[in-house]
Chain A
Amino acid sequence: MALTVDKASKSFPGVRALKDASLELRSGEVHALMGENGAGKSTLIKIITGVHRPDGGRLLLDGQDVLFASPRDAIRLGISAVHQERNLIPRFSVAENILLENLPRRTGLVDYARANAEAKKYLEMIGLVVDTRTEVRHLSVAQMQMVEIAKALSHEAKVLLLDEPTASLTGEEADALFALVQRLKAQGAAILFVSHKLEEVLAISDRVTVLRDGETTLIGEPMANMTRGRLIEAMIGRAERIAVVRPPKAATGAVKLEASGVATAAGHRDISFTVRRGEILGLYGLVGAGRTELARALVGKDKLSGGTLSIDGKPAVIRSVEEALKRHRIGYLSEDRKYEGVVLLHPIRFNVAMTIWDRLARFLGFQTAAGERRATEPFARQLEIRTPSLEQSVGNLSGGNQQKVSLAKWLAAKVDLLIIDEPTVGIDIKTKAYIHELIGKLADDGLAILLISSELPEMVALADRILVMHEFRIVDGFDNDRSYEAMSRKVMGAIHRHSDEAVAVE
């Protein structure tokens, strides 16, 4: 089966997400779809899977025009999307999840014996060995993903869409997935592989389509003609992806935070590091490595179960977020901007002043809008928040400007240590470069920064030192010499070494 998207366009209020984007997917191939965050990948995927209808352009299946009214139409015609663990029902068994819409029944009741036998058939097809009666919530992320693929096969999917399938997999799990992808391809499936990891794409895809700012900059280019450089250029329009490189600098500032042998209930063991003022310490790891959980413990959201912290040279215990902020001057910029970063319905001044209300309080503790505006203005100017007025609700700002508002909040609170978690997720390339520049400047002004990111280029561009976290431990740490290739080798080496060790121990 061949799926063709011909010059599809899609606009949302205020943004043109896709402009004449095209894609041509054939059976028996692995086709990569690449692009930066915000390039339009997810919009294109949603058009293919029937979630969105394009404003213009055509969608063809085997040369026939098709129109999907809902995702179910797409599934019925053999197009299935595999997302990460999102499409399963946690408390249902593996068998029931695979066969949900088509449970075998006998005299009106579900026939579990037959369901288990049937599900087993699909599990064998993909080589997953689990008991079909296991509740899905007890499986690993990798297993859940395999179950989703089995489910797609039960729909007789001819077109399989894998959306960032390796984001939370270990190296070996990813290899197992790729082997499966090759088998499905050999059986004639058309596989659309959505990823922004260059190595993976280069390794397993036959052709590639690249999106940039809603337009397709490469359409179905054979991978044989591709190089890293060409792919990066197609994605970001420049041969060099790293926009701002902070010049390497020896950290000379006073130590702000020292962790020794820290352990948490989440599973961290023996975490030790120091962050100095004026330094950006990078904490790199795959999704699920335990980086965000460590940040939560450092700002007092979760408790430490072992080890000690010292702040400004004195032993310290952080019992609450309030204490972290007010006594120790530590702030945390969450990766989840919409839920933990900003209050979308409230104006900019409200969001920025939130951390300093007690300082702004007047007679009997009342705040004034004017007071909040006065406190916000310098930071809005410093960070160039683009808005007609500080009364604008944050929900009406672009992702980049929202991120600037959450940054401004911590600047207003005058923290000495800012933990920044995935600062550029969902932010367009230009703003991204600006936010990188800004983070660099904050460090130059003497702020200690702990930067959490799963984007290695971001790490290499910003961090002075890089710690590698894997399975809730810090497995390696080294100075950043600003060479992407070298750092990438070191970081991946550290992670792979420790994944192998874990297996060897088992």
Chain B
Amino acid sequence: MGAFFRLQWSGILVGIIAGGIALALSAPAFLSEFNLFVLLRSICVSLLVAYAQMVMLGVGQMNLSVGALGGLVAVVTGGLMDALGVPTLPAIMIGVAAGGAAGFVNGWLTVRTGINGFIVTLATASAFAGINLGITKAVPFYNLPADFVAFGNGRVGLFPLLLIVPLLVTVVLALFFARAVPGRHMLAVGGNAPAAQLSGVSVPRAIISAHVLSGLLAAVAGVLAVAQLGSAQPTIGSDWLLISFAAPIIGGASLAGGAISIVGTLLAVVLIGLIQNAMVLVKVDPYWVQFLLGALILAAVWFNRYRAIKVGEI
């Protein structure tokens, strides 16, 4: 038990299991196939959003524009399909590439101007949201290819088809940060930038790469959100910021940089999804959901910090 408690994500797993049991007992609808499908589907976008921020925390930076960037990619992709009639796959590829390019802009500005990445991405967030509104005039794109929307809502038993994407991304990211040289370089820069630099690691390159990766992940999240909703809403991404920080940090990432946990982030997203699902099932007044979510996330982060102090990590 002691060794288990030492694992960064042990508390989250306990929380998920305890929460799941409590829900199953108090709300029978929880275990229905459809509810579990809804729960899993809600996790898909969140997980990618969380990874988009986790990558930035790994390199010791932040990206406040994840939501605006994902939202922009969502309307660009939807617009290409609806207004310009571009086929599904090319439209998605252009959208995701645009996300990578936006990430590159974030990274390049941070490295080149020397302005704190916090401020850079705060400003680009506003800029991306502005482009979004300029393109859409706040009107969603509804007319999307049927196969695309079907993918967003299809399921095999309780598993949404959508889940394939974040699972694939999880495996690739785990490999990238554990074994790939650019991934290790990002974590080295996040852990001790001067030391990494003296060892021949290019700090600017690591920071820009992290921003590009973050942009790509937020872009994929945007595309999935469109598929799931069946329309490219200009408001996609507007509520991503909290979860983007909360999940990696509950999962054990350090705001100081260099320390991230993919398993931890994954479990944290599941926990947050469970909390949201629970609030629907026990019929919490929708006007108070936002408040409760904030409070519960704070409690989860607090608990994990307490655990980290107890086992001497901090």
Contact = CB atoms under 8 A, between A and B. Distances in A.
A506 interface: no
A90 B313 CA distance: 12
Contact of B198 (A71, A91, A112): A71
Contact of B191 (A71, A92, A151): A92
A433 to B, nearest CB: 35
A109 B188 contact: no
B184 A103 contact: yes
A109 B191 contact: no
Interface in B162-193: 175, 179-181, 184, 187-188, 191-192
Given A101-B199, A101-B201, A90 B179 contact: no
Contacts, number: 60
A8 to B, nearest CB: 22
A103 B194 contact: no
A436 B201 CA distance: 45
Nearest to A148: B195
A399 to B, nearest CB: 23
Interface of B: 175, 179-181, 184, 187-188, 191-192, 194-201, 258-259
A89 B175 contact: no
A75 B191 contact: no
Contacts of B259: 91
B180 A87 contact: no
Interface residues on A, range: 20 to 34
B305 to A, nearest CB: 17
A261 B195 CA distance: 42
A86 interface: yes
Contact of B179 (A102, A109, A151): A109
A72 B188 CA distance: 16
Interface in A89-130: 89-92, 96, 100-103, 105, 108-110, 112
A72 B184 CA distance: 19
B198 A75 contact: yes
Contacts of B187: 89, 91-92
Contacts of A89: 187-188, 191-192, 195-196, 258
Interface of A (DSSP majority class): mixed
A72 B192 contact: no
The 8 closest A-B pairs by CB, nearest first: A101-B200, A89-B191, A100-B199, A109-B179, A87-B195, A101-B199, A89-B192, A89-B188
Nearest to A98: B199
Contacts of B192: 86-90
Contacts of A105: 181
A72 B194 CA distance: 11
Nearest to A105: B181
A431 B191 CA distance: 38
5 contacts: A88-B195, A91-B187, A92-B191, A100-B196, A108-B181
A75 B196 CA distance: 13
Contacts of B258: 89-91
A35 B282 CA distance: 72
A86 B194 CA distance: 9
B195 A72 contact: no
A110 B200 contact: no
A112 B175 CA distance: 13
B198 A72 contact: yes
Given A103-B181, A109-B175, A110-B184, 17 more contacts: A71-B197, A72-B200, A75-B200, A86-B192, A86-B194, A89-B187, A89-B188, A89-B195, A90-B258, A91-B187, A91-B259, A101-B200, A102-B200, A105-B181, A109-B179, A110-B181, A112-B179
A108 B180 contact: yes
A42 to B, nearest CB: 15
A91 B192 CA distance: 10
Contacts of B196: 89, 100
A91 B191 CA distance: 7
Contacts of A92: 184, 187-188, 191
Nearest to A50: B198
Interface in A77-93: 86-92
Contacts of B179: 109-110, 112
Interface in A21-43: none
A311 B295 CA distance: 43
Nearest to A51: B198
A93 to B, nearest CB: 10
Contacts of A100: 188, 196, 199-201
A71 B199 CA distance: 9
Given A90-B192, A91-B187, A100-B196, A110 B180 contact: yes
A87 B184 contact: no
A105 B179 CA distance: 9
Contacts of B180: 108-110
Interface string A238-253: 0000000000000000
A92 B178 CA distance: 11
A465 B259 CA distance: 46
A89 B179 CA distance: 16
Nearest to A99: B199
